[in-house]
Amino acid sequence: MAKPASVLTWRPALMIGAPLALGVVELWHYLPNLAISRFEDLAPRVDQWLTVHMIQGELGGQRWRVVHEWQAALLQALEAPFQVMDMEPRYHG
């Protein structure tokens, strides 16, 4: 059964876009100043901190979906030669 065109269009976008977007979010991630208390450090940036971690949560799930897609594609590619070899006739003479 053929897959719809919309699935074929979105799959590459997710496979490349999700890890790339996560990398961009990681660049925006604030690194704490360990010289002062965590509350004093994060209090002025609480909106940024919450936004970054909410986005990371969603993109983290997309990242695992991408990993499973790559794993399935790799296993399918590695399995193909063995399927061809398995189709050869066997002689039990």
Give residue 91's pLDDT. Answer: 62
- In the chain, domain spans: 32-57
**pLDDT tens, position by position, 13-44:** 777 887 888 888 888 888 888 888 888 888 88
Reported residue count of the chain is: 93
**pLDDT tens, position by position, 39-92:** 888 888 889 888 888 888 888 777 777 777 778 888 888 877 666 655 555 666
Can you say whether the dihedral through the CA atoms of 34, 38, 43, 45 is positive or negative? positive
C-beta of residue 60 within 8 angstroms of C-beta of residue 13:
no
Give residue 69's pLDDT. Answer: 78
Give residue 87's pLDDT. Answer: 58
Give residue 88's pLDDT. Answer: 58
State the number of CA atoms in the 13 A half-sphere of 28 facing the CB: 17
Give residue 6's pLDDT. Answer: 62
Kindly state the DSSP code that residue 30 receives in the 8-state scheme: P
pTM of the model: 0.54
C-beta of residue 35 within 8 angstroms of C-beta of residue 13:
no
C-beta of residue 13 within 8 angstroms of C-beta of residue 47:
no
